[in-house]
Amino acid sequence: MNAKILTKAIVRYSILLLIFISIIPLSAQISNRTEALNLMHRGNLQLQLGQWNEAIFTYTNAIQSDPSFADPYMKRAIVYKLLGRYSESERDYSKALSINPFSEYLYDSRAKLKMISMDYKGALYDINKALQLNPENQKLREFRIEDYIALQDYEKALNDIDTLIMMGYDIENEYLKKAYVYFLQKDFSESKSMIDSVLLNNPRSDKAYDLKGLIDLQKTAYSSAVENFTKAIDINPEFEIAYFNRAVAYRYLNNTKNAIDDLNAAMNICKDFDHVLFTRALIKKESGDLKGSLKDYNQILFKNKSHFDALYNRAISYKFLGNYTDALRDAERILELQPNNPMHWNLKGNIELLFGEYQRAIDSYSEAIMLEPSYSDALYNRGLANLMLYRESRGCDDLEESIFHGSEAAKKAQQLYCNQ
């Protein structure tokens, strides 16, 4: 065969071989993406039907079929968020963004997740990235205002609010938000001025009257606060926050019945409202209904075993009811959550002291004093515990130290139990 012809044949064959080889991975990629899309559709249906664990499994299979496809990561992140698995959700949003770093939606979604996790600085970073990609997105700017407020960066919040007002975006809501920022800054005069501007244009703004009531609460004008919250409720009978706020005002007016009624109304509107339950429990405890307060604390802790304030107050309620075992259990759980808080060691000591566990009480008070040497209450309590064990010298020394740090109760105890 002619050498030229042979060379041409070899070159042609090589080109065809290269084309064939390059087609193989391309066709494989198309096949993988198609499989991932099919799995995505199935996962979306499961998500719509509330089959969240099944959807996670399906989206995971889609990711395994095509790891370079951002959408399954995004979808799985949504399901993790619904299940409260926030760290896994954030991980998936981050992976999706590493594949598609030009998605304002992904940055916005991760920012909202970080807000839930109270990572406000991280949320702000993501919102700013989203706004860089789409500076005209008014909803993103609106969300950034919430983040600035959470970070207490009120001046930047006001700047964004003014920008949205100039753009004509939801003007009434932005005036109310501006009033709220002034309220947080305790500039009640400016806040009221914004509210009055809203009410001038819309006399039936339930949020405006609610905010007026909050200003009254801050000024301790509790009867006026009740009137404004009542106006908000009359305009919007489903306004659960206004019922809650009015309950707070009634509590300050020592109107326990109306306060409880309003909290019950708020609970009927919004069943999953732990803050309402907690306030109702406090009011019940203050009115002497310890069993009723325990019922509310139990309801909160059934959903969230680490709700610190509910645990703390339930321990106190158990203590007053004489239930040493459950009171001590809650006190120990509190210390697991916050072991370096002297107040919590003092609470544990008080429970042990009340039920005659004097040495254990002394050990708990000593932990509190080690964390805060000037803690007059713990010094006073340890002094009493030592006196109950007939350790007069130690007890009186503790009382003397407590007096030095300002305890009036220790002075009276010293006069009763210590030789002068």
* CATH code for the domain in which residue 376 is found: 1.25.40.10
The residues, ordered by sequence, that sit 6+ positions from 101 with a Cβ below 8 Å of its Cβ are: none
- 123 CA to centre of own chain: 14
What SS3 state is found at 100? coil
SS3 content of the chain, % helix, strand, coil (to 5): 80, 0, 20
User: What's the CA gap between 178 and 174, in Å, rounded?
Assistant: 6
In-domain check, residue 388:
yes
Give pLDDT tens digits for 2-29. 555 545 554 454 554 444 444 445 455 5
The more confidently predicted of residues 140 and 13 is 140
Per the prediction, the chain carries an average pLDDT of 88
Q: Concatenated DSSP letters for 9-38?
A: HHHHHHHHHHHHHHHHHHHHHHHHHHHHHH
Q: pLDDT band for position 54 (50/70/90)?
A: very high
| Total domains in the fold of the chain | 1
pLDDT tens-place string over residues 331-387: 999 899 889 999 999 999 988 888 888 899 999 999 999 999 999 999 999 999 988
Q: Is residue 358 part of a domain?
A: yes
Both tokens of 181, joined, read 């920022």
Whether 409 maps to a domain, the answer reads yes
Query: Is residue 58 domain-resident?
Result: no
314 burial type by CB count under 10 A (0-12 exposed, 13-18 middle, 19+ buried)? buried
Indicate if the pLDDT at residue 265 is higher than 60: yes
Euclidean distance between CA atoms 162 and 160, whole angstroms = 5
Residue 34 placed within a domain: no
pTM, two decimal places:
0.68
Q: Six-digit token pair at 1? A: 């065969």
Residue-number span of the structural domain to which 400 is assigned: 340-420
What is the amino acid identity at position 8? Answer: K
- Write the DSSP assignment of 187-242 as a string of letters: -HHHHHHHHHHHHHH-TT-HHHHHHHHHHHHHTT-HHHHHHHHHHHHHH-TT-HHH
pLDDT tens digits for range 61-90? 999 998 999 999 999 999 998 888 899 999
Max CA separation in the chain (angstroms): 127
Question: Please, which residues have CB within 8 angstroms of residue 87's CB and are 6 or more apart in sequence?
Answer: none
What's the pLDDT at 16? 45
pLDDT of 213 over the 90 cut: yes
Give me the pLDDT at residue 286, please: 81
What is the tens place of the pLDDT at every residue in 93-104? 999 999 999 999
Task: Look at residue 36 and tell me if it is in a domain.
Answer: no
pLDDT, residue 72, reads: 92
Percentage, residues of the chain above pLDDT 90? 57
Establish if 369 belongs to a structural domain. yes
